[in-house]
Structure 1
Amino acid sequence: MSRLDRLFQLLFGAFFTRYKTDRRFRRRAILETFRSSSGSKPDKALRYVSRAMRRAAQDDVMEAIARLSSHTDGLTEGEVERYRKRFGRNTVDFEAAMPWWKHLWQCYRNPFNILLTVLAVLSALTGDLRATIIIGIMVLLSTFIRFVQENRSNQAAERLKNMVNTTASVLRRPPKNEVNTRKNSGFDLHLKSDVRHVELPIHDLVPGDHVVLSAGDMIPADCRVLTAKDLFVSQAAMTGEALPVEKFALLSQPFETVFDAANLVFMGTNVVSGTATALVVATGQHTYFGRLSERLGMRDRNPTAFEAGVNGVSWLLIRFALVMAPIVLLINGFTKGSWVEASVFALSVAVGLTPEMLPMIVTSTLARGAVALSRKKVIVKHLDAIQNFGAMDVLCTDKTGTLTQDRIALERHTDVFGGISNDVLRYAYLNSVHQTGLRNLLDDAVLQHVELQHDLLTAQGYQKIDEIPFDFERKRMSVVVEGRTGERTLICKGAFEEVLSVCEGVKLGAENESAALDEDMSERIRAAAADLNRQGLRVVAVAIRQARGGQSVFQVSDEAGLTLVGYMVFLDPPKESSAPALKALATHGVSVKVLTGDTELVALHVCREVGLEHCRYLLGVQIDKMNDGTLAHAVERHQLFARLTPAHKERIVGALRGNGHVVGFMGDGINDAPALRAADVGISVDTGVDIAKEAADIILLEKSLMVLEQGVLEGRRTFVNMLKYIRMTTSSNFGNVFSVLVGSAFLPFLPMLPLQLLVQNLLYDLSQVALPFDNVDDGLVSRPLKWDPRDIGRFMLFFGPLSSVFDIATYALLWWGLGAQDIAHQALFQSCWFVEGLLTQTLIVHMLRSPKLPFVQSTAALPLIVATLTIIVVGIALPLSPLAGSFGFEPLPKAFYPWLLLIILGYAALTTVMKRFYARRFGWV
């Protein structure tokens, strides 16, 4: 089921099921959801997947490779093509588009079309064949319009999503290297020189492929680990385990479930730290994730803020329909004497009170907004995130690359007291050039600096022995290299405090003299580093230790007893666009909070440079000591949060949401993934790591707050256009139904036939089809916008009866002025009121689309003007056309037209006065 169809079900599923909403929105593990929703044992397909993965875990490396007809150095392109034809693409049909026939059925199957179908059946049973045919045409037209519009919207959404691809690093072997792997005695870790590493979209993977994994990567399929180095994988999405699980190439103990197997990794999980090579065992729908997604769909997914808002509006309309329709039935049943006719009319009123085009309008508006955002370099992965984007009132963002230029340069390399030291540069270069884990901008800056300015400095003569990968708890990483003379050196670099915590000595001067790291020395070193931080420079510490000659495997525990050599000092200057972007966001009601893992001194310097002068900060160690209540108060008072771990960022976002804010989080690293998921709208960039892009709802093609500010405004424009339709339709239809109640009580005939009421409602809805393309006043998007069913109800009750005033005036004119007082003149009465009602309803599109004066201070977009003019012409011409008799109409008398013009002008004048009063009293949005 597509996301758009799920949105449609949520819009109107309230007719049958009451959804419970929860702002705290807890994301559940897939297995937990599976157990709670099925309550039964896994089906045959799941058992088959489990058996296949168990077999892969129990095989040794060579058996696992041979079973999949793969090779020790990957597949050839020809083999990949053959396997793809056999196994299909590596995609899960979790978000796949429906077949056209199923989509057509979904477009028909909504409560409004069902009510119309009931009316058609009742008309057929009473012998009114013309009404049956006309209502049938209306159903087909409504269904077809929605089908076409949603198809276009789905295609637009897919084109946008395809602009952001998640890739995997894969080994590809030229055809000449094909060998019989069963004859090999063991798995060769050293690849042949002509084996290529290629970056491919994950949907191109096939069983037998070898993928290279590192920190931040999504696991692209169900895989067997072939080699691993300090590999930790987060399986929370599958099992709900909070802590990452370490994975190995070989089993060391038996396992109960496949998720307990230490040498298996699964699609839907991600690498937290370390590196690995893995063999793809199952892809697409044949993975554990794929099989579970077939069973689960989205049955247990809590509604988003957008869905909950629209659901609340739907319930509002349903309550009005449930109240008004029975009243109409009783009044007409007792006063007209025909309960069958009264029942048909009451059903027509119920349909008239509900906005049939709401699913299509919402879908078209969201799709149009997504396309408009793409022109501003903002790609929307999930359409319903657009409204959350516009409703956002707090933006949490990282510092690096967002406020700063994301072009870090190595400013200097110094000893512990600030003197230039080439030894520090040499050790840092050896660390950066040999590490294979999570490479970042700091490593790139070191390598670029050496390449441009230190041609004589190379890694020749050094051989890498082992590596201790980076993780966001330690905030450091180490490599062990062996020199020409056979000595082995552990080189550690990372955040200043974290590296200092594992040091026992300090290297002094150019000679190999060292001193103990006592309290006095520690204070002097910290003062030197703090002075650099105050200048806005980022300090990365470098430390070393001589390793035992025979030791070849190193762990985190070996990062101890180090000698601090000095610092690599980096400059990441603020972007010129950051200050105006922050000012613009503040003007539009969005406050920015900076969440960074960097030191508070560096972050404060950058914040002051971009205009955040009086920035109060809170440290991660302080957050650890706070309970949820204390943190909830603290996040409101502080604008900068420094020295944070991923868990800290997630807690801060959760605290802000708990305070009632709509929170956006912008991040591009693996450490940002938990906060991206916790936010109302997750924002990442196309250069971010896989897990960040997967967790985000919106992807920026340019890492800039200015782009983000434009996206926020477009999200608000999208919301305003949706709100226009709901407000206009509910108030207009409510006024129309109220007029029907008055007319039914005092007229000897129905004020309008059921068929006429339905045609009027359909024409009015068609006049608003162009609303997604309407212009939006700048003043309406100046602050965050949220769904408020109470406001919509108030708007409906305030403006709806205004049209009834002029409807009743029309009744009086027709009754006393034109003599339409009996059954013989009911066609005249109904025709005149039909035209007057349709024209005032259509006029309301222009009167209520903006608080400003229509056509003078605020003009609708050309498509909307054309649509409304067309409906006005059709409405006036219909009683004069050859089809008039089919609808029960007759030509309007010429004497009625001047009065019609006067009524319309009076309605426009009264509405203008009242909307100014409403805007002053309640605000407009």
Structure 2
Amino acid sequence: MPDTARGLSESEVLQKRAQGLGNPAPPPTSRTYAQIFRENIFTFINGVIFFLGVALLLVGRPVDALLSVGIISLNILVSVVQEIRAKRTLDKIALLTRPKATVIRDGAPSQVVPEELVVGDVLYVAPGDQIVLDGAVVQGKMTVDESQLTGESNSISKQNGAQVYSGSFCVTGSAFYVAEKVGGDSLANQITAGAKQFRRVLTPLQQEVVLVIRIMLLIVVYLEILIVLNAALKALNLGDTVQQSTLIAGLVPNGLFLSISIAYALGAVRIIRFGVLVQQANAIESLSNVNVLCLDKTGTLTTNRLQVNALHPLAISESELAHVLGDMVANATTQNKTSQALAEKYRGEKRVVVGEIPFSSARKWSAIAFHDGRDEKRGTRNEPLAFRISHHAGTFALGAPEMLQPYLVDAENVNENRDKSPRPRESSRERGDLSPTWREIMTRTQALAEQGLRVLLVAYHSSTELQDKGDDSRLPQDMTPLGLVSIRDELRPEAREALDNFINAGVNPKIISGDNPETVAALAKQAGLKNAKLVSGVDLEKMDDAQFAHAARERTIFGRITPQQKEKLVRALRAEGHYVAMIGDGVNDVLSLKQANLGIAMQSGTQATRAVADLVLMDDSFASLAPAVTEGQRIVNGMQDILKLFLTRIVTMAMVIMSALVIGEFPLALRQGSLVTLFSVGIPTVLLAIWARPGAVGRGTLAQRLFHFILTPVVVTTLFSLFLFYGTLVGELLMRAGFNPNLSAEIIQPHYPVALVTAQSTLVAFLVFVGLLTVIFVEPPTKWWVAGDELSGDWKPTLLAVGLMVMFFVIVFVKPLRNLFALAELGAPELLSAIVLAALWLLLVRWLWRRRVFENYLGIKDLHIYAYH
């Protein structure tokens, strides 16, 4: 058996590492540079467009090839640069949250990262610590949560010789264990390789985009087949066919999925400024959806810097009570914030410990049994209480008064002047009455709790029989309450402002704690939560599922809550349709963090808590979440604006092309389509993402909001486009043929190419105009523009649309630029027809949107998601 006091020496560590017995570094938790380049460049659509670009080059159309390949190359370059910058920043920050292990080397403990460990290392774990390597317990006793390995939430007791596994964590107690498996043999690295390494976990928004891409891919494949068949039947020019195929391939919004991933990565970088580290990609989107925020009081609402307020003796003097507390914490094998506060206040002596039950959040008490070495046959129970206490023979318990009540003796027996021992009897709770002492305890506890103080009860029994059975542990019956101790916790200075910000943002806070409900309510009142409804874990235990769900929905303060009840509360809130975020710092919060839509941990919290969290608050201030929520809303709103523009353009173009193919003429050339894309989507989407406004996400699902927005402009734009294109084409042919009523193929043929380019150019002008009007509808600056989306009040998108309109006219009137995009010289009739039709489009689309004509026709009533008055 290894020497737990000495551990390995540095020379032994080097020797084992040389033998290949070291723990290698875990796989990266973010994408490698190779993955970034591969996933940005080698996509199906990129491959198709690059192939068609080469084909255009081979058939003698270098300008078309340059434009088609150049635009997508620019997108790739921007995406790669942004993602690499985000990766570097996030990787640096993520180093701060790596779990560390306490290893004993050369007789001294030290904190190291897991990759510095070797086989044979002796490691120490305390409550909340992760077990980072597989091994065997060699000293101590603890309970371990292996739920991440087995899926079972029950804690498992581990003693000498028991196997422990990486991926689990210590709940109570403490122990030394020796590492036996490292590298690929260790479950820690298996979990890291299988679950912790980077993988695309699709968010709801990403799932919607994937669906859109798949649908558009099917449409594009169908259109490509039509193009090929059309070219074969009509013996069309190969260059024209390749050009049309390239334009159609560009309809697949391949960059949408990547844009969302990059937006999340950049958002994660931005919210680091607020002290929030993103550990899961969907955390940013989750932030924007949260409407219930569950807080663990200690360490979240308060600083968790505990101080003893006062002692309140019941059966012994204050000095004797202080002596008992000092000895209890001085001899306990595990420490928490409460015991540390007591140890700082009261000094104790080392005693002979014959039994110990560490504190558990489920039981809410701890106990320790001392043996004073005297002959047990003398019968210490017949001696005065003060004598028995002074000799420290027996069991001492410390915990929540309500949780110790079942084990307490009646008040008539709490008298140190009585020489006879208390006779066994059923507890006061079992009989249903309240003894005089319990009334006194309740009165004092209530008064102290209303001041925001934590209250603990100290109880004693002469028996030294104490067995640790985890959460099933029991105390001796008829324990004597010795006194109360009140402990003060400091409210975080930013708590009031943070809660106000959440409430104003429509987020409903709920405070869940293991403390007395009155204590929690008093602190919540100090933080600005007034008239909060209370409920205790004891009352919740008696409720059926319907009553429990009602309490979870209606109550704000939850006290004396066990970890299992925390988890059930979060589950009940989610079942009610709420999007729940849970903030915690202790091992008792792990279950509820895993159950919540969004788990948030404090940086100073336990390793286990940080490991399961989606977000980590680096400065331990939940006030930093308020700006992070705003940032999340801004990102999601920006992506929705991008989706609206993308889908409106893509579906419209697909409908126009499909309709035109039925009639017999392709409506746009490749370079003309690139111009429409650049002005209606390319430039606006980049700036809309930057200018995206914070605020609650609109009502209804994403699919409903998108359907409501794109349906009307797609239908109207398609009809107007076909009317304008073929009307202009016919008009040009008539005008160039001298309005000859006897038109024939011989008369039309010489004029057809010029007329076609003019009709296409007129259509380009119209599509650019309505595309820029759509940008304004996406971010309405005034109430007049509110039709497809909610009022924004931001004039920047409108000014952008006006600026792009001016740029378009420059292209139309400057011959080199006009030739670059294969546009004809448009005269006043063509431009005027495009402008007038765009104005009619504006009025008609606004009217149809506001009357919800198409939704009502389709019988879809739940898309009434915007208010216009």
TM-score (norm. length: structure 2): 0.80
Distance 2:682 2:793 in 1: 25
Distance 1:83 1:894 in 2: 85
CA displacement 1:718-775 (0-9 Å, x = unmatched): 11111111111111222333333454455x6321134643564367554256347523
Contact 2:649/2:681, CA 8 A, preserved across alignment: no
CA displacement 1:358-397 (0-9 Å, x = unmatched): 1232122212322222212222111221111110111111
Deviates more, 1:377-386 or 1:484-493: 484-493
> Identity over the aligned pairs, expressed in percent?
21
Match of 1:399 in 2: 297
1:431 aligns with 2:431: no
Identify if the C-alpha distance between structure 1 residues 572 and 113 changes in structure 2 by more than 3 Å, giving closer, same or farther. Answer: same
Match of 1:858 in 2: 794
Identify if the C-alpha distance between structure 1 residues 73 and 903 changes in structure 2 by more than 3 Å, giving closer, same or farther. Answer: farther
1:494 aligns with 2:399: yes
Match of 2:708 in 1: 794
**Offset of residue 653 of structure 1:** 1.0
| RMSD between superposed Cα atoms in Å | 4.4
Instruction: Pick the aligned partner of 1:270 from 166, 169, 172.
Output: 169
1:237 aligns with 2:134: no
Instruction: Pick the aligned partner of 1:830 from 760, 770, 774.
Output: 760
Match of 1:256 in 2: none
1:678 aligns with 2:595: yes
Match of 1:364 in 2: 262
Match of 1:422 in 2: 319
Match of 2:691 in 1: 775
Instruction: Pick the aligned partner of 2:131 from 219, 224, 227.
Output: 219
Contact 1:732/1:803, CA 8 A, preserved across alignment: no
Match of 1:93 in 2: 27
Match of 1:169 in 2: 102
**Offset of residue 680 of structure 1:** 0.5
Identify if the C-alpha distance between structure 1 residues 144 and 924 changes in structure 2 by more than 3 Å, giving closer, same or farther. Answer: farther
Identify if the C-alpha distance between structure 1 residues 433 and 832 changes in structure 2 by more than 3 Å, giving closer, same or farther. Answer: farther
Match of 1:649 in 2: 566
Distance 2:609 2:362 in 1: 18
Distance 2:137 2:688 in 1: 50
Distance 1:122 1:512 in 2: 105
Alignment of 1:537-548 (within 5 A): 537-546=453-462
Identify if the C-alpha distance between structure 1 residues 525 and 295 changes in structure 2 by more than 3 Å, giving closer, same or farther. Answer: closer
CA displacement 1:851-885 (0-9 Å, x = unmatched): 64799941448xx9889968985896499676977
Alignment of 1:713-724 (within 5 A): 713-724=630-641
Contact 2:360/2:366, CA 8 A, preserved across alignment: yes
Count of aligned pairs between the two proteins: 804
The one-letter code matched in structure 1 to 2:690 is: D
Match of 2:657 in 1: 740
The one-letter code matched in structure 1 to 2:154 is: L
CA displacement 1:39-72 (0-9 Å, x = unmatched): xxxxxxxxxxxxxxxxxxxxxx24xx8xxxxx86
Identify if the C-alpha distance between structure 1 residues 707 and 868 changes in structure 2 by more than 3 Å, giving closer, same or farther. Answer: farther
Identify if the C-alpha distance between structure 1 residues 851 and 914 changes in structure 2 by more than 3 Å, giving closer, same or farther. Answer: farther
Partner SS state of residue 260, structure 2: helix
Partner SS state of residue 104, structure 2: strand
**Offset of residue 421 of structure 1:** 1.4
Contact 1:357/1:765, CA 8 A, preserved across alignment: no
Distance 2:501 2:459 in 1: 44
The one-letter code matched in structure 1 to 2:307 is: A
Distance 1:428 1:580 in 2: 37
CA displacement 1:211-256 (0-9 Å, x = unmatched): 2101111112222322122x11122211233322222222xxxxxx
CA displacement 1:604-645 (0-9 Å, x = unmatched): 333444444443333334444445455334422332332211
Alignment of 1:326-341 (within 5 A): 326=222, 337-338=233-234
Distance 2:813 2:122 in 1: 72
The one-letter code matched in structure 1 to 2:794 is: S
Distance 1:148 1:865 in 2: 28
Contact 2:287/2:632, CA 8 A, preserved across alignment: yes
Identify if the C-alpha distance between structure 1 residues 610 and 923 changes in structure 2 by more than 3 Å, giving closer, same or farther. Answer: same
TM-score (norm. length: structure 1): 0.75
Contact 1:744/1:750, CA 8 A, preserved across alignment: yes
CA displacement 1:787-817 (0-9 Å, x = unmatched): 5212212211123345446645753456536
1:315 aligns with 2:217: no
Partner SS state of residue 249, structure 1: coil
Distance 1:488 1:124 in 2: 95
Alignment of 1:588-667 (within 5 A): 588-667=505-584
Contact 1:220/1:268, CA 8 A, preserved across alignment: yes
Match of 2:311 in 1: 413
Contact 1:408/1:572, CA 8 A, preserved across alignment: yes
CA displacement 1:388-444 (0-9 Å, x = unmatched): 111011111122233345333322101138x9712222222332343342412x233
CA displacement 1:72-123 (0-9 Å, x = unmatched): 623445665676675676543273423x334322223434324435645775
The one-letter code matched in structure 2 to 1:200 is: V
Partner SS state of residue 426, structure 1: helix
Structure number with bigger Rg: 2
CA displacement 1:523-547 (0-9 Å, x = unmatched): 4433333333344332111123456
Match of 1:55 in 2: none
Distance 2:266 2:691 in 1: 12
- Structure 1, unaligned runs of 5 or more: 1-60, 66-70, 174-194, 251-262, 451-456
Match of 1:199 in 2: 111
**Offset of residue 677 of structure 1:** 0.4
The one-letter code matched in structure 2 to 1:749 is: E
- Structure 2, unaligned runs of 5 or more: 375-390, 429-434, 737-750, 786-790, 853-861
Distance 1:128 1:81 in 2: 65
The one-letter code matched in structure 1 to 2:865 is: F
Match of 1:208 in 2: 120
Identify if the C-alpha distance between structure 1 residues 736 and 890 changes in structure 2 by more than 3 Å, giving closer, same or farther. Answer: same
Distance 2:698 2:829 in 1: 50
1:106 aligns with 2:106: no
The one-letter code matched in structure 2 to 1:216 is: G
Alignment of 1:33-72 (within 5 A): 61-62=1-2
Contact 2:102/2:109, CA 8 A, preserved across alignment: yes
CA displacement 1:163-208 (0-9 Å, x = unmatched): 43433222232xxxxxxxxxxxxxxxxxxxxx33223344443433
Deviates more, 1:654-663 or 1:364-373: 364-373
